[in-house]
Protein backbone atom coordinates (compact mmCIF):
# COMPACT_ATOMS: atom_id res chain seq x y z
CA UNK A 1 0.00 0.00 0.00
CA UNK A 2 1.98 2.94 -1.25
CA UNK A 3 2.04 6.54 -2.37
CA UNK A 4 2.69 5.31 -5.93
CA UNK A 5 -0.98 4.45 -6.26
CA UNK A 6 -2.87 7.14 -8.14
CA UNK A 7 -6.45 7.60 -9.28
CA UNK A 8 -5.19 6.60 -12.74
CA UNK A 9 -3.77 3.27 -11.55
CA UNK A 10 -6.95 2.58 -9.60
CA UNK A 11 -9.07 3.40 -12.65
CA UNK A 12 -6.97 1.05 -14.76
CA UNK A 13 -7.86 -1.83 -12.39
CA UNK A 14 -11.57 -1.43 -13.13
CA UNK A 15 -14.44 -1.54 -10.63
CA UNK A 16 -17.31 0.89 -10.27
CA UNK A 17 -15.85 3.34 -7.77
CA UNK A 18 -13.16 4.69 -10.09
CA UNK A 19 -14.58 4.01 -13.55
CA UNK A 20 -18.16 5.11 -12.88
CA UNK A 21 -17.14 8.77 -12.57
CA UNK A 22 -15.43 11.42 -14.71
CA UNK A 23 -11.63 11.17 -15.12
CA UNK A 24 -10.90 14.25 -12.99
CA UNK A 25 -13.17 13.18 -10.10
CA UNK A 26 -11.94 11.34 -6.99
CA UNK A 27 -14.04 8.28 -6.11
CA UNK A 28 -15.22 8.07 -2.49
CA UNK A 29 -18.70 6.74 -3.08
CA UNK A 30 -19.76 3.09 -3.70
CA UNK A 31 -18.48 0.64 -1.04
CA UNK A 32 -15.45 -0.86 -2.79
CA UNK A 33 -11.92 -0.88 -1.37
CA UNK A 34 -8.74 0.11 -3.19
CA UNK A 35 -6.49 -2.61 -1.74
CA UNK A 36 -6.55 -5.34 -4.39
CA UNK A 37 -7.19 -8.97 -3.63
CA UNK A 38 -6.06 -11.18 -0.72
CA UNK A 39 -3.38 -13.64 -1.95
CA UNK A 40 -5.42 -16.64 -0.76
CA UNK A 41 -8.37 -15.56 -2.90
CA UNK A 42 -6.24 -14.73 -5.91
CA UNK A 43 -4.55 -18.17 -5.70
CA UNK A 44 -7.88 -19.98 -5.34
CA UNK A 45 -9.35 -18.21 -8.36
CA UNK A 46 -6.24 -18.83 -10.48
CA UNK A 47 -6.37 -22.48 -9.49
CA UNK A 48 -10.04 -22.67 -10.50
CA UNK A 49 -9.23 -21.15 -13.89
CA UNK A 50 -6.35 -23.60 -14.37
CA UNK A 51 -8.70 -26.51 -13.58
CA UNK A 52 -11.42 -24.97 -15.81
CA UNK A 53 -13.76 -25.11 -12.82
CA UNK A 54 -16.31 -22.95 -14.60
CA UNK A 55 -19.38 -25.15 -14.82
CA UNK A 56 -22.42 -25.02 -12.50
CA UNK A 57 -21.77 -24.70 -8.81
CA UNK A 58 -21.83 -28.01 -7.01
CA UNK A 59 -22.30 -29.48 -3.52
CA UNK A 60 -18.58 -29.82 -2.68
CA UNK A 61 -17.80 -26.17 -3.15
CA UNK A 62 -21.07 -25.14 -1.55
CA UNK A 63 -20.16 -27.21 1.53
CA UNK A 64 -16.62 -25.91 1.61
CA UNK A 65 -17.80 -22.31 1.56
CA UNK A 66 -20.33 -23.03 4.33
CA UNK A 67 -17.70 -24.76 6.50
CA UNK A 68 -15.21 -21.95 5.95
CA UNK A 69 -17.83 -19.39 6.94
CA UNK A 70 -18.92 -21.19 10.11
CA UNK A 71 -15.28 -21.73 11.19
CA UNK A 72 -14.62 -18.04 10.67
CA UNK A 73 -17.71 -16.96 12.65
CA UNK A 74 -16.80 -19.27 15.51
CA UNK A 75 -13.18 -18.07 15.65
CA UNK A 76 -13.77 -14.38 15.08
CA UNK A 77 -17.26 -13.74 16.46
CA UNK A 78 -17.67 -16.62 18.92
CA UNK A 79 -20.84 -17.49 16.99
CA UNK A 80 -21.47 -21.21 16.58
CA UNK A 81 -23.56 -22.19 13.55
CA UNK A 82 -23.90 -25.61 11.95
CA UNK A 83 -22.68 -25.55 8.34
CA UNK A 84 -25.89 -27.18 7.11
CA UNK A 85 -27.71 -24.00 8.15
CA UNK A 86 -25.74 -21.87 5.68
CA UNK A 87 -27.20 -21.52 2.19
CA UNK A 88 -25.69 -19.60 -0.72
CA UNK A 89 -27.40 -16.57 -2.25
CA UNK A 90 -26.15 -14.46 -5.16
CA UNK A 91 -25.66 -11.40 -2.98
CA UNK A 92 -26.76 -9.97 0.32
CA UNK A 93 -29.42 -7.63 -0.99
CA UNK A 94 -31.07 -10.40 -3.00
CA UNK A 95 -30.75 -12.69 0.04
CA UNK A 96 -32.73 -10.15 2.04
CA UNK A 97 -35.40 -10.06 -0.66
CA UNK A 98 -35.62 -13.86 -0.56
CA UNK A 99 -35.83 -13.84 3.23
CA UNK A 100 -38.69 -11.34 3.13
CA UNK A 101 -40.51 -13.28 0.41
CA UNK A 102 -40.11 -16.78 1.83
CA UNK A 103 -39.57 -16.45 5.57
CA UNK A 104 -41.81 -13.68 6.85
CA UNK A 105 -45.58 -13.68 7.29
CA UNK A 106 -47.13 -13.43 3.79
CA UNK A 107 -48.03 -9.85 2.85
CA UNK A 108 -46.72 -8.44 6.14
CA UNK A 109 -45.17 -4.94 6.03
CA UNK A 110 -41.41 -4.61 6.62
CA UNK A 111 -39.74 -2.07 8.92
CA UNK A 112 -36.56 -0.18 8.00
CA UNK A 113 -34.71 2.01 10.50
CA UNK A 114 -33.57 5.04 8.56
CA UNK A 115 -31.22 6.44 7.39
CA UNK A 116 -30.17 3.05 6.07
CA UNK A 117 -28.47 1.38 3.09
CA UNK A 118 -30.90 2.40 0.35
CA UNK A 119 -31.11 -0.78 -1.81
CA UNK A 120 -33.19 -2.22 1.06
CA UNK A 121 -36.05 0.02 -0.08
CA UNK A 122 -36.12 -1.48 -3.56
CA UNK A 123 -35.93 -5.05 -2.19
CA UNK A 124 -39.05 -4.45 -0.10
CA UNK A 125 -40.70 -3.11 -3.24
CA UNK A 126 -39.55 -6.13 -5.24
CA UNK A 127 -40.96 -8.42 -2.54
CA UNK A 128 -44.28 -6.54 -3.04
CA UNK A 129 -44.39 -5.55 0.60
CA UNK A 130 -45.38 -2.34 2.30
CA UNK A 131 -42.50 -0.36 3.81
CA UNK A 132 -42.77 1.00 7.33
CA UNK A 133 -40.09 3.63 7.69
CA UNK A 134 -38.87 4.12 11.23
CA UNK A 135 -36.78 7.31 11.48
CA UNK A 136 -33.97 6.78 13.99
CA UNK A 137 -33.38 8.99 17.00
CA UNK A 138 -30.38 11.28 16.90
CA UNK A 139 -28.94 12.40 20.20
CA UNK A 140 -27.35 15.83 20.78
CA UNK A 141 -23.87 14.38 20.27
CA UNK A 142 -24.85 13.27 16.75
CA UNK A 143 -25.13 9.59 17.61
CA UNK A 144 -28.04 7.54 16.31
CA UNK A 145 -30.14 4.93 18.02
CA UNK A 146 -33.20 2.93 17.12
CA UNK A 147 -36.65 4.21 18.01
CA UNK A 148 -37.63 1.19 20.09
CA UNK A 149 -41.07 2.53 21.03
CA UNK A 150 -41.70 3.20 17.35
CA UNK A 151 -40.61 -0.34 16.53
CA UNK A 152 -43.02 -1.73 19.09
CA UNK A 153 -45.84 0.35 17.57
CA UNK A 154 -44.94 -0.76 14.04
CA UNK A 155 -45.16 -4.42 15.01
CA UNK A 156 -48.33 -3.74 16.99
CA UNK A 157 -49.88 -2.32 13.81
CA UNK A 158 -49.03 -5.47 11.85
CA UNK A 159 -45.49 -5.23 10.50
CA UNK A 160 -44.02 -8.72 10.41
CA UNK A 161 -40.30 -8.04 10.27
CA UNK A 162 -37.48 -5.51 10.46
CA UNK A 163 -34.44 -5.49 8.22
CA UNK A 164 -31.69 -4.56 10.63
CA UNK A 165 -28.37 -3.28 9.34
CA UNK A 166 -25.76 -4.48 11.86
CA UNK A 167 -23.18 -2.88 11.61
CA UNK A 168 -25.22 0.03 10.35
CA UNK A 169 -24.54 1.48 6.92
CA UNK A 170 -24.27 4.53 6.53
CA UNK A 171 -23.74 5.39 10.22
CA UNK A 172 -20.99 2.86 10.93
CA UNK A 173 -22.52 1.98 14.28
CA UNK A 174 -22.28 -1.51 15.80
CA UNK A 175 -25.25 -2.31 17.97
CA UNK A 176 -24.52 -3.28 21.55
CA UNK A 177 -25.72 -6.53 23.08
CA UNK A 178 -28.19 -4.51 25.16
CA UNK A 179 -29.69 -2.72 22.15
CA UNK A 180 -29.95 -5.95 20.21
CA UNK A 181 -31.54 -7.64 23.21
CA UNK A 182 -34.22 -4.94 23.27
CA UNK A 183 -34.93 -5.33 19.56
CA UNK A 184 -35.23 -9.09 20.01
CA UNK A 185 -37.56 -8.72 23.01
CA UNK A 186 -39.84 -6.37 21.05
CA UNK A 187 -39.85 -8.63 17.99
CA UNK A 188 -40.54 -11.71 20.10
CA UNK A 189 -43.42 -10.05 21.89
CA UNK A 190 -45.13 -9.68 18.49
CA UNK A 191 -43.89 -12.92 16.89
CA UNK A 192 -42.07 -10.73 14.37
CA UNK A 193 -38.87 -11.63 12.55
CA UNK A 194 -35.50 -9.87 12.38
CA UNK A 195 -33.59 -10.06 9.10
CA UNK A 196 -30.07 -8.99 9.97
CA UNK A 197 -27.60 -7.81 7.33
CA UNK A 198 -24.14 -8.44 8.83
CA UNK A 199 -21.99 -7.93 5.75
CA UNK A 200 -19.84 -5.30 7.50
CA UNK A 201 -19.18 -7.41 10.63
CA UNK A 202 -15.59 -8.40 9.71
CA UNK A 203 -14.83 -4.67 9.33
CA UNK A 204 -15.18 -3.92 13.06
CA UNK A 205 -12.42 -1.80 14.61
CA UNK A 206 -10.42 -2.72 17.66
CA UNK A 207 -12.47 -2.06 20.75
CA UNK A 208 -15.74 -3.01 19.05
CA UNK A 209 -17.11 -6.49 19.38
CA UNK A 210 -19.64 -7.42 16.75
CA UNK A 211 -22.58 -9.38 18.10
CA UNK A 212 -24.52 -11.44 15.54
CA UNK A 213 -28.16 -10.90 16.52
CA UNK A 214 -28.81 -14.57 15.79
CA UNK A 215 -26.37 -15.49 18.56
CA UNK A 216 -28.88 -13.94 20.97
CA UNK A 217 -32.06 -15.19 19.31
CA UNK A 218 -31.50 -17.95 16.75
CA UNK A 219 -35.20 -18.62 16.25
CA UNK A 220 -36.14 -14.97 15.67
CA UNK A 221 -33.40 -14.02 13.26
CA UNK A 222 -32.46 -14.66 9.64
CA UNK A 223 -28.88 -13.54 9.00
CA UNK A 224 -27.65 -12.51 5.57
CA UNK A 225 -23.97 -11.87 5.03
CA UNK A 226 -21.00 -12.37 2.70
CA UNK A 227 -17.23 -12.09 2.54
CA UNK A 228 -17.83 -9.68 -0.33
CA UNK A 229 -17.49 -6.41 1.58
CA UNK A 230 -14.49 -7.14 3.81
CA UNK A 231 -12.56 -8.89 1.04
CA UNK A 232 -13.87 -6.75 -1.82
CA UNK A 233 -15.58 -9.46 -3.88
CA UNK A 234 -19.00 -8.02 -4.77
CA UNK A 235 -18.58 -8.63 -8.50
CA UNK A 236 -18.32 -12.39 -7.89
CA UNK A 237 -21.93 -12.65 -6.68
CA UNK A 238 -22.05 -14.83 -3.59
CA UNK A 239 -23.46 -14.37 -0.12
CA UNK A 240 -24.73 -16.55 2.70
CA UNK A 241 -28.20 -16.77 4.21
CA UNK A 242 -27.91 -18.31 7.67
CA UNK A 243 -31.05 -20.05 8.90
CA UNK A 244 -30.75 -20.60 12.63
CA UNK A 245 -34.51 -21.07 12.94
CA UNK A 246 -35.31 -24.78 12.56
CA UNK A 247 -38.51 -24.12 10.61
CA UNK A 248 -36.78 -21.73 8.20
CA UNK A 249 -33.99 -24.23 7.54
CA UNK A 250 -36.40 -27.11 6.94
CA UNK A 251 -38.51 -24.96 4.66
CA UNK A 252 -35.54 -23.69 2.65
CA UNK A 253 -34.00 -27.14 2.28
CA UNK A 254 -37.24 -28.85 1.33
CA UNK A 255 -38.38 -26.98 -1.72
CA UNK A 256 -37.02 -25.92 -5.05
CA UNK A 257 -37.59 -22.44 -6.38
CA UNK A 258 -35.82 -20.27 -8.92
CA UNK A 259 -35.00 -18.21 -5.83
CA UNK A 260 -32.28 -20.71 -4.99
CA UNK A 261 -30.16 -20.10 -8.06
CA UNK A 262 -27.95 -17.28 -9.27
CA UNK A 263 -24.83 -18.03 -7.22
CA UNK A 264 -21.50 -18.10 -9.07
CA UNK A 265 -18.97 -20.91 -8.62
CA UNK A 266 -16.17 -18.33 -8.48
CA UNK A 267 -18.10 -16.48 -5.81
CA UNK A 268 -18.26 -19.60 -3.64
CA UNK A 269 -14.56 -20.33 -4.24
CA UNK A 270 -13.62 -16.77 -3.35
CA UNK A 271 -15.82 -16.68 -0.24
CA UNK A 272 -14.30 -19.97 0.97
CA UNK A 273 -10.78 -18.66 0.36
CA UNK A 274 -11.54 -15.40 2.15
CA UNK A 275 -12.90 -17.03 5.28
CA UNK A 276 -10.24 -19.78 5.26
CA UNK A 277 -7.06 -18.00 4.26
CA UNK A 278 -7.82 -14.28 4.08
CA UNK A 279 -7.67 -13.40 7.74
CA UNK A 280 -4.15 -11.99 7.92
CA UNK A 281 -4.78 -9.90 4.79
CA UNK A 282 -7.91 -8.50 6.43
CA UNK A 283 -5.95 -7.71 9.60
CA UNK A 284 -3.55 -5.61 7.49
CA UNK A 285 -6.47 -3.89 5.81
CA UNK A 286 -8.00 -3.11 9.21
CA UNK A 287 -4.71 -1.52 10.30
CA UNK A 288 -4.80 0.69 7.19
CA UNK A 289 -8.48 1.52 7.69
CA UNK A 290 -7.89 2.31 11.33
CA UNK A 291 -5.14 4.75 10.34
CA UNK A 292 -7.43 6.28 7.72
CA UNK A 293 -10.21 6.63 10.26
CA UNK A 294 -7.87 8.54 12.54
CA UNK A 295 -6.58 10.69 9.68
CA UNK A 296 -10.12 11.44 8.56
CA UNK A 297 -11.04 12.59 12.07
CA UNK A 298 -8.04 14.96 12.11
CA UNK A 299 -8.73 16.29 8.62
CA UNK A 300 -12.39 16.92 9.37
CA UNK A 301 -11.47 18.64 12.62
CA UNK A 302 -8.96 20.95 10.96
CA UNK A 303 -10.42 21.48 7.47
CA UNK A 304 -14.17 20.85 7.81
CA UNK A 305 -14.94 22.11 11.33
CA UNK A 306 -18.64 22.65 10.57
CA UNK A 307 -19.24 19.20 9.15
CA UNK A 308 -20.74 16.78 11.66
CA UNK A 309 -19.10 13.38 11.93
CA UNK A 310 -19.14 10.54 14.44
CA UNK A 311 -16.33 8.01 14.09
CA UNK A 312 -17.69 4.63 12.91
CA UNK A 313 -17.31 1.50 15.09
CA UNK A 314 -17.16 -0.62 11.93
CA UNK A 315 -17.19 -0.16 8.12
CA UNK A 316 -15.01 2.14 6.04
CA UNK A 317 -17.90 4.56 5.64
CA UNK A 318 -18.21 8.00 7.20
CA UNK A 319 -21.61 9.67 7.45
CA UNK A 320 -21.02 13.40 7.05
CA UNK A 321 -23.52 16.00 8.18
CA UNK A 322 -23.34 19.09 5.95
CA UNK A 323 -26.58 20.63 7.20
CA UNK A 324 -24.76 23.65 8.64
CA UNK A 325 -23.64 24.41 5.07
CA UNK A 326 -27.24 24.62 3.91
CA UNK A 327 -27.17 22.37 0.82
CA UNK A 328 -29.91 19.76 0.61
CA UNK A 329 -27.76 17.49 -1.56
CA UNK A 330 -24.10 18.15 -0.68
CA UNK A 331 -22.90 15.23 -2.82
CA UNK A 332 -24.34 16.84 -5.97
CA UNK A 333 -22.62 20.12 -5.08
CA UNK A 334 -19.29 18.45 -4.29
CA UNK A 335 -19.04 16.30 -7.40
CA UNK A 336 -19.42 19.45 -9.47
CA UNK A 337 -17.45 21.97 -7.41
CA UNK A 338 -14.84 19.77 -5.68
CA UNK A 339 -14.44 16.93 -8.14
CA UNK A 340 -15.18 14.42 -5.38
CA UNK A 341 -17.82 11.70 -5.71
CA UNK A 342 -19.57 10.92 -2.41
CA UNK A 343 -22.85 9.06 -2.00
CA UNK A 344 -25.73 11.48 -1.49
CA UNK A 345 -27.64 11.10 1.77
CA UNK A 346 -31.21 11.58 0.44
CA UNK A 347 -31.80 8.02 -0.80
CA UNK A 348 -30.91 6.61 2.66
CA UNK A 349 -34.34 7.79 3.85
CA UNK A 350 -35.50 10.07 6.66
CA UNK A 351 -32.64 12.14 8.02
CA UNK A 352 -30.50 11.71 4.90
CA UNK A 353 -31.00 15.16 3.38
CA UNK A 354 -28.01 17.45 3.91
CA UNK A 355 -25.77 14.43 4.47
CA UNK A 356 -23.36 12.44 2.35
CA UNK A 357 -21.50 9.16 2.83
CA UNK A 358 -17.76 9.06 2.32
CA UNK A 359 -15.83 5.85 1.60
CA UNK A 360 -12.37 6.06 3.17
CA UNK A 361 -11.06 2.65 2.01
CA UNK A 362 -8.33 4.24 -0.05
CA UNK A 363 -4.75 5.44 0.44
CA UNK A 364 -3.98 8.23 2.93
CA UNK A 365 -2.68 10.66 0.29
CA UNK A 366 -5.88 10.21 -1.74
CA UNK A 367 -8.05 10.60 1.35
CA UNK A 368 -6.21 13.81 2.20
CA UNK A 369 -6.83 15.18 -1.29
CA UNK A 370 -10.51 14.24 -1.06
CA UNK A 371 -10.94 16.28 2.12
CA UNK A 372 -8.82 19.19 0.88
CA UNK A 373 -10.93 19.37 -2.29
CA UNK A 374 -14.15 19.31 -0.24
CA UNK A 375 -12.82 22.03 2.05
CA UNK A 376 -11.97 24.18 -0.97
CA UNK A 377 -15.48 23.89 -2.35
CA UNK A 378 -17.57 24.59 0.75
Ligand X SMILES: Cc1ncc(COP(=O)(O)O)c(C=O)c1O
Q: Which residues bind ligand X (CB under 6 A)?
A: 31, 91-93, 117, 165, 169, 197, 199-200, 226, 228-229, 234, 239
Across the chain, where does the E strand assignment appear? 26-27, 86-89, 110-114, 131-135, 137-138, 144-145, 161-165, 193-197, 221-225, 239-243, 317-321, 340-341, 343-344, 355-359
Tell me how far the alpha carbon of residue 371 is from its chain's centroid.
23
Smallest separation, CB 352 to ligand X (Å): 15
Choose between 226 and 304: whose C-beta lies nearer to ligand X. 226
Choose between 112 and 378: whose C-beta lies nearer to ligand X. 112
Choose between 168 and 333: whose C-beta lies nearer to ligand X. 168
As a whole number of angstroms, the distance between CA 29 and CA 235 comes to 16
Choose between 119 and 364: whose C-beta lies nearer to ligand X. 119
Instruction: Write out the DSSP string of 164-187.
Output: EESSBTTTTBPPPHHHHHHHHHHH
As a whole number of angstroms, the distance between CA 368 and CA 90 comes to 35
As a whole number of angstroms, the distance between CA 136 and CA 239 comes to 28
Q: Are strands 161-165 and 110-114 parallel, antiparallel or unpaired?
A: parallel
Smallest separation, CB 226 to ligand X (Å): 5
Quick one: DSSP state of residue 293?
H
Choose between 117 and 304: whose C-beta lies nearer to ligand X. 117
Smallest separation, CB 126 to ligand X (Å): 13
Smallest separation, CB 94 to ligand X (Å): 6
Smallest separation, CB 200 to ligand X (Å): 6
Amino acid sequence: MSDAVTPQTLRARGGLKWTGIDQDVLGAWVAEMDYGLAPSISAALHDAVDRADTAYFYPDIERRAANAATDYWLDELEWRVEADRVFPVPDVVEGIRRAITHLTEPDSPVVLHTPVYFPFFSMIERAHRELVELPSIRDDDGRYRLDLDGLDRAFEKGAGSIVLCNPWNPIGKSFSVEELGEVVAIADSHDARIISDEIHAPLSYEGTKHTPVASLAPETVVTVTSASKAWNLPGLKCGQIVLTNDGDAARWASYYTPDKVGVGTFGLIANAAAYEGGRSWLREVMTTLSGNRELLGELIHSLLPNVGYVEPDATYLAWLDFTSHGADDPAAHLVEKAGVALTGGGPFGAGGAGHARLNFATYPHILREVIERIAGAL
